[in-house]
Structure 1
């Protein structure tokens, strides 16, 4: 008996074809975003590359080396934030890709999403992955603020705070921060379901914190990497300043960098693009640098730390998506 094939009806328009290359399409998204961001900031790129031509290259090569080491420091911190052992090479590649994602999405979201996905693919439950992400952010913030406070205590004349934060803006800024804290507290008190979710997350985070600190190697990686990360970032700016002969002492440049990055931490711009440049220029001027040279240093520094790694980072991100690492 011969089987009879019935004619198939038209495909369901609500469904995608079975062979749509979803992962291949996702691989191209980071490159598309890079193109859009570069087109929007083409004036900054042109000016930054122009300043790099007149710089002393040994200092610039050292700045590039410091930038590469920041990804190693980030990998150490990420591993220190979770008890589970993560694959080293994939972890390092993920930090490089996360840096690119962080400059394409609002501050912190890109890197956080990439690392959260990486940990869940490695078998870490979502609740613990989220707790590890929060622990990483906490450790990095504490290390950055502690380093800034220590330098300001040792060098109280490093910044002219009147130039960095005019008096008429300090009051509204404090009022805004206070209003946000009051609103967040009110929401947690009034919304019982949200409060329960927050309490559950805090319990998981505290449990992860205790587990990490029962293992000296994890605690050392967490806090050592958290401290090394801002030190290497500040060292990169200092090295670029030396390359362009900025007449500001290295310690004062480091303080200016830390103060500027702390100031823009709550600004929801992709990778701090625009806000970081403005804050760094103001901070370097407050540290005693001429406006023109400070601007050149900041543009060259952002070329090295943001724009040069952006395309390779996007390619790495696409490759990790295609290989199902994230």
Structure 2
């Protein structure tokens, strides 16, 4: 048996360059995991005065009413998950779905017009194996069902309690409705222009439209999906109003639950189309105005909305960002 010299022995083939690609993927996931925390830090620095004022008022408030407000906040995440499931024929895992909506809440308060929440939800649906046209169509149905259900609930309050509601002070004038109407008109115009002139987008948008029409017909043949979609969409604004009422009662607001609920419904319906992160700003100002129209002192109404935002935005924001980061790390998003 002859022995080959050491320099003539066959050398092993070099390993394929997979390690750099894997390392880049890990770095990208790590960056995406840290991005929500960095955005929260920047927002906290920008809005630190409102955060401090709201936290100071919450410390001095009635803890039992604040506990009730926290319970209604948690139920609000459940209602969002219910609407998401009702807008989709496919069965979604319950636990991850609720976690995704909790994480989406953190993203929703950073980007305007619910873009952050929709992006997180879209990524979650794709990870669950939902085709892109169907996932996009479910987001459109979700966005359509929420304002329709809120308007129907508002009309229900008007019919059920005509004597308790001072409609003349709360109905917005024509100038107040110009901005929401313009926002809706511009959105529809942009969609029409994209379909007409951008050929690469025409087919995907038409696929989404066809899928949406098909899914709407299928969903409304299933009573469980109808109840989840429209029941959850109707419950969501009522739960938000319950949070405001609980926080206001903890701070000494003397308005009834019916008055607070109608004030919030009227305010959010009037200016809800204004693209602001999580509706913060226009909806808050309109709600304060509505509460004052019912007889609440300006200082108490303002303090109620500031404390409400701290409880529903700032308190769950860090846990929501951590859940978002964890879901990114586990490739659930």
TM superposition score normalised by structure 2: 0.86
1:86 to 92, 117, 124: 92
Match of 2:284 in 1: 277
2: CA distance, partners of 1:25 / 1:195: 33
Structure 2 residue 230 is the aligned partner of structure 1 residue 230: no
Deviates more, 1:52-61 or 1:309-318: 52-61
Match of 2:5 in 1: none
Closer, same or farther in 2 for the Cα pair 1:141/1:196, shift >3 Å? same
Structure 2 residue 204 is the aligned partner of structure 1 residue 204: no
2: CA distance, partners of 1:80 / 1:250: 28
What is the count of residue pairs matched by the alignment? 318
Structure 2 residue 11 is the aligned partner of structure 1 residue 41: no
Match of 1:56 in 2: 62
Closer, same or farther in 2 for the Cα pair 1:238/1:205, shift >3 Å? same
Does the aligned pair in 1 maintain the 2:87–2:229 contact within 8 Å? yes
Match of 1:146 in 2: 152
Alignment of 1:150-299 (within 5 A): 150-156=156-162, 158-159=165-166, 161-162=168-169, 165=172, 169-170=175-176, 172-173=178-179, 176=182, 180=186, 183=189, 187=193, 191=197, 193=199, 198-299=205-306
SS of aligned partner of 1:19: helix
2: CA distance, partners of 1:185 / 1:4: 60
Does the aligned pair in 1 maintain the 2:89–2:219 contact within 8 Å? yes
SS of aligned partner of 2:23: coil
| Greater Rg by CA | 2
1:130 to 107, 115, 136: 136
Match of 1:71 in 2: 77
Match of 2:308 in 1: 301
Deviation at 1:125, TM superposition (A): 0.2
Match of 1:310 in 2: 317
Provide, for residues 98-145 of structure 1, a one-character-per-residue CA deviation record: whole Å limited to 9, x for no partner.
111100111210111111111111011000001111111122121111
Match of 1:102 in 2: 108
Closer, same or farther in 2 for the Cα pair 1:161/1:112, shift >3 Å? farther
2: CA distance, partners of 1:88 / 1:186: 36
Deviation at 1:240, TM superposition (A): 1.1
Does the aligned pair in 1 maintain the 2:263–2:287 contact within 8 Å? yes
> Alpha carbon RMSD of aligned pairs, Å?
2.8
2: CA distance, partners of 1:183 / 1:31: 35
Deviation at 1:75, TM superposition (A): 1.1
2: CA distance, partners of 1:3 / 1:159: 91
Structure 2 residue 47 is the aligned partner of structure 1 residue 30: no
1: CA distance, partners of 2:242 / 2:104: 21
